Chains A and B, each alone.
Chain A
Amino acid sequence: MNDGQQFDRLPATADERAVAGRATREEVLAWWDERFGVPPETFDDVTFWEKGKGKIWAYAGEAPDEIEIEGLGMTVLRTRQEHWKPTTNAVQRWGRAATKNVVVVDDAAARRFARGDDQELDWDGDWGYLVVAHELADGVEPLGVGLYLYGELRSVVPKGRRRDID
């Protein structure tokens, strides 16, 4: 069963799954690829782990398949729910590789998003979680995760990361 106190390495594929409901590495890579067009090889240097119900962590270092410590890399994804949800930190780290479901917003909209405000958005792509990005220093830089529903872009930037940009 899933033990909320320890990190468990995700099984590579469904054939190796021993814990019911646990995502597999293959599924995690497929999800990033299908949802955002992030190529699976983007994650070649990290392993994936579950701690807590459905919370997935990405870790580049060494560890045995089960380890009971305070942190292992970065939380990247919430699984065990109908719509998997990426974290702001994961999108900031790997979102530059995204090629679909990316909305590039103007500066005023980027500021509202960083503050945590919801806003209307003209978007004819998929509903659900989007990579929200803006232009900065001669490049397109991912800000974080937005949830697009009914013509509205909701900012899901966690409270501790929200900023009123000068």
Chain B
Amino acid sequence: MNPLERYESLVDDAAAFRAACERPLPSVVRVNTLKATVERAREALDSAGIPYDRAEWHGGLFRLPEGNPGTSWPYFHGWLHGQEEVSAFPALVLDPDAGERVWDACAAPGSKTTQLAALMDDSGTLVGNDNNLGRLSALRHNAERLGVTNLAVTNQDARNFSLKPFGFEHFDRAIVDAPCSCEGTCRKNPDVLDKWSLGHVRTLTGVQKGILKRAVQATRPGGTVVYSTCTFAPEENEAVLDHVLSEADCRVVDFETPLSTSPGVTSWEGEAYDPQVERAHRVYPHQNDTGGFFCAKLEVTA
């Protein structure tokens, strides 16, 4: 079964949703503002004769219709980093300030982590964690290539993450870009649809709930936690929020985004969720011609 059929009842335009899911995505790069301004990166792309279109919703993202820029000067210098367009969304929602303590619970391979470092102006303490030691080397390589120095890299199970090595008690902000069934990346990796199973979804939801709960606990009262995935499955999105709302001290808050989105769903297959989950944003591929995504912003209340 094609798992995308499950979600047609949720979207406003099922035909447009189906059609968008079948179109491949262009390569996209983000300008690494730790090493170059958007203007200089544009100049370097222009002088290399590489065509690009700026994403309407984010001035530092360029769509490259001719593909991978890995062998261009701006890439060599770490001015650009390849990143799927919609995956630049959650770091903007977390919106960390310079000097803060920030936890990226599932950091590797580091596109979002290095974006956070740039938003923090490479100051404060950014802890990038991943449970997969092999993927951590990709995280470190990307961070160093992009000139990041505020990143500390840890290899823990995020569900019982310990801040002990650092000697402070809480983060100001945390982001959980959770391992998920990834149907939203089908425009890049159609394989994810063949590998999809409800059993896998059920396994993932346990991990997702555990990590998000720990992120809320590890963040100071008044702090912000962002939860994101690249799946459309309510089991992995709103149901995870619903669970953590009942288990940890937090609430879902509204936020604005320049992307076209749909609200979180409050019921699915006979389950009803806490009405707050409606404040989350669903991104369907036909809305902005991107991959699919889910993003919620939580405030820690105690």
Q: Which residues of A contact B (CB under 8 A)?
A: 45-46, 58-64, 67-75, 87, 89, 92-93, 114, 136-139, 141, 143, 160-161, 163-166
Contacts and interface: CB of A to CB of B under 8 A. Distances in A.
B153 A163 contact: no
Instruction: Specify the main secondary structure of chain B where it touches its partner.
Output: mixed
A93 B56 CA distance: 29
B108 to A, nearest CB: 11
Interface of B: 35-36, 40-41, 43-44, 47-48, 70-78, 101, 122-126, 128, 133, 136, 139-141, 143-145, 147-155, 165-168
A110 B73 CA distance: 10
A91 B78 CA distance: 12
B153 A70 contact: yes
A72 B152 contact: yes
Contact of B151 (A71, A75, A161): A71
Contacts of A137: 36, 40-41, 43-44, 47, 74
A74 B44 contact: no
Contact of B143 (A58, A74, A136, A165): A74
Contacts, number: 114
Contact of B71 (A59, A61, A89, A163): A163
Contacts of A161: 76, 145
A60 B122 contact: yes
Contacts of B150: 59-61, 73
Given A64-B166, A165-B72, A70 B140 contact: yes
A73 B153 CA distance: 8
B193 to A, nearest CB: 32
A8 B145 CA distance: 23
A137 B31 CA distance: 14
B144 to A, nearest CB: 4
5 contacts: A60-B124, A63-B125, A64-B165, A67-B166, A165-B71
A68 B156 CA distance: 12
Contacts of B149: 45-46, 58-60, 73-74, 93
B35 A93 contact: yes
B125 A143 contact: no
B70 A138 contact: no
Given A59-B149, A60-B149, A70 B136 contact: yes
Contacts of A64: 165-167
B285 to A, nearest CB: 30
Contact of B147 (A69, A72, A89): A89
A141 B37 CA distance: 13
Contacts of B147: 74, 89, 92-93
